[in-house]
Amino acid sequence: MKGKNRLVSRRHFLLTAATAAIAGPLILRPSAKAASPVGKLNHACIGVGGMGWGDLQNFKMHPNLQIVAICDVDANNLKRASEAIPGARTYTDWRELLKVEGNRIDSVNVTVPDHNHFAIAIQAIRNGKHVYCQKPMCHDVAEVRILTNEAVKAGVITQLGTQVASTFGDRTAVQWLREGAIGKIKHAYLCSNRPGAVAKYRLEGPRPAQGQEPPPQLNWENWIGTAPMRPYVPGIYHPSIWRTWQDFGTGWSGDIGCHIFDAVWKGLDMKPPKSVMAEVQKSWQDSSERRADTWPQGNHITWMFPGNQLTESNVLPLEWFDGEFYPPKEVRALYSVEDYPAESAMLIGTEGALLIPHGGMPKLLPESKFKDYIHPKLENRNHYHHFINACLGGEKTESHFAQSGPMTEAIILGTIAIRVPGKVLEWDSARMKFPNYPEAEKYLRRKYRKGWRVNGI
């Protein structure tokens, strides 16, 4: 690992609870869990543009769910969704939706920029609603911890939007890891080097000094939500580009990492990491302006996880590569240097290797050795419908928060390491502290904008 530097010091870090509830134009109060018609789920879609449009289409297809309310800060998105769901009640403020709908809804999906995930999801859970939340679960580690704990305590059904976790491929990989197909695991290499992603989604920054009036169809106040107010600038925030900015997104690893981690995390029954360190794009590291505003366009993050009965030793190194950073050539050569999947996980075991392409079927390597290895028989599954069925009394969801919350925490710890590149951050999960570098603890949670503070954070 490059730039390794251990600094030892101490400072007490406390997660304090704010006393104010969401203090926008509406004060929301918990309500009883909704009572829906027998065998039907009354659902509200919060965020119906971009990924939210795809989510709406999947929810709409389930015969035992009816979308009764929709919300979006962009009137154009809301209009299209209204035409797709005639009769659904419409809102531009999720706080109003949760207050007015009350007992008329059973569940919600949260498909908005990362910085507003927690505020919406926690209020829905406190109101007794089942929650499907797009990944990453939250913007900050502290948010994830609270949301996970409250979801478990409330007993509501939850699902993280890691849709690939429900596919044949990822579920096969999980089973092969659990049964020790490649022996004890020695090392894991995860990557997301999607062609064109840097140019399309990962702006260099910094942001323009001047903004302009937002378009009339966009409620910019509600889009900003919990984040610091920024002037509207076309083409760099809404839609789709907000992940570039530290205010709103969690960078490329925070986004795609939740997909690539999932099968590895579950298959190896992983626990919170012992430490994390990041190497980043040099041009970003050398620019104070960019480091204060954007995420880098390339990262190499290394976690050291505690080992268990499925690993070769008491520590499991796991490395993440994106942008200009790629897995080592000798690792890619285990499959093919030229045709190595741009988004994938490679696990090295004592008896072979396992390649898990994102969205594809896993491969046991060398293929000649494992050509007769048995594939598990798995039923087809829709990630969204699995959530709906669980809400209606079916089996536990694939990515419930008790399982995906700790995984998301580990991933978001990587985004903290990005902001202090070259520092090995030793992690005390129980106390939520970095004992050897407490200066980084300021990144565990944000300060919410006035009027948007949430009780408990």
Mean pLDDT of 185-192: 98
Whole-number Cα distances in Å, 244 to 173, 248, 257, 371, 449 = 31, 8, 15, 43, 20
Q: What is the pLDDT of residues 268-289, one digit of tens each?
A: 999 999 999 999 999 999 999 9
% of the chain exceeding 70 in pLDDT: 92
Q: Which residues contact 50 (CB under 8 A, 6 or more apart)?
A: 111, 239, 240
Q: Mention the CATH class of domain 166-205+239-378+406-443.
A: alpha beta
Q: What is the pLDDT of residue 38?
A: 59
Q: Which residues contact 196 (CB under 8 A, 6 or more apart)?
A: none
- Which pair of tokens denotes residue 316? 């499991």
Q: Which residues contact 385 (CB under 8 A, 6 or more apart)?
A: 58, 61, 62
Report if pTM > 0.85.
yes
User: Three-state SS for 164?
Assistant: helix
Domains 41-163 and 166-205+239-378+406-443 share a fold: no
Instruction: Answer whether residue 18 shows pLDDT above 50.
Output: no
Instruction: Answer whether residue 408 shows pLDDT above 50.
Output: yes
Q: Nearest 5°: phi and psi at 159?
A: -155, 125
Mean pLDDT of 322-349: 97
Q: What is the pLDDT of residue 39?
A: 82
Instruction: Name the band, by pLDDT with cuts 50, 70 and 90, for residue 34.
Output: very low
Q: Give the separation between CA 324 and CA 326, rounded to whole angstroms.
A: 7
Mean pLDDT of 428-438: 98
Q: Which helix (H) or strand (E) holds 45?
A: strand 41-46
Choose the weakest-confidence range: 12-16, 78-82, 127-131: 12-16
Instruction: Name the band, by pLDDT with cuts 50, 70 and 90, for residue 455.
Output: confident
Q: What is the pLDDT of residue 33?
A: 46
* Domain ranges within the chain, ordered by starting residue: 41-163, 166-205+239-378+406-443
Instruction: Answer whether residue 350 shows pLDDT above 80.
Output: yes
Instruction: Answer whether residue 136 shows pLDDT above 80.
Output: yes
Other C-beta atoms closer than 10 Å to the C-beta of 10 total 11
Q: What is the pLDDT of residues 43-66, one digit of tens each?
A: 999 999 999 999 999 999 999 999
Share the mean pLDDT of the chain.
91
**41-163 has CATH 3.40.50.720 classification:** yes
Among residues 99, 70, 75, the alpha carbon closest in space to that of 85 is found at 70
User: Three-state SS for 67?
Assistant: strand
Q: Which residues contact 3 (CB under 8 A, 6 or more apart)?
A: 277, 279, 421, 422
Q: What is the pLDDT of residues 294-331, one digit of tens each?
A: 999 999 999 999 999 999 999 999 999 999 999 999 99
- Which pair of tokens denotes residue 111? 């498909």
261 and 322 in contact (C-beta within 8 Å)?
no
Q: What is the pLDDT of residue 3?
A: 38
Among residues 345, 317, 297, the alpha carbon closest in space to that of 191 is found at 345
Mean pLDDT of 216-245: 95
Q: Which residues contact 237 (CB under 8 A, 6 or more apart)?
A: 223, 230, 245, 248
Instruction: Answer whether residue 9 shows pLDDT above 80.
Output: no
Instruction: Answer whether residue 206 shows pLDDT above 70.
Output: yes
Instruction: Name the band, by pLDDT with cuts 50, 70 and 90, for residue 371.
Output: very high
Instruction: Name the band, by pLDDT with cuts 50, 70 and 90, for residue 242.
Output: very high
Instruction: Answer whether residue 23 shows pLDDT above 70.
Output: no
299 and 278 in contact (C-beta within 8 Å)?
yes
Q: What is the pLDDT of residue 28?
A: 39
Query: Is the preceding omega at residue 328 within 30 degrees of 0, hence cis?
Result: no
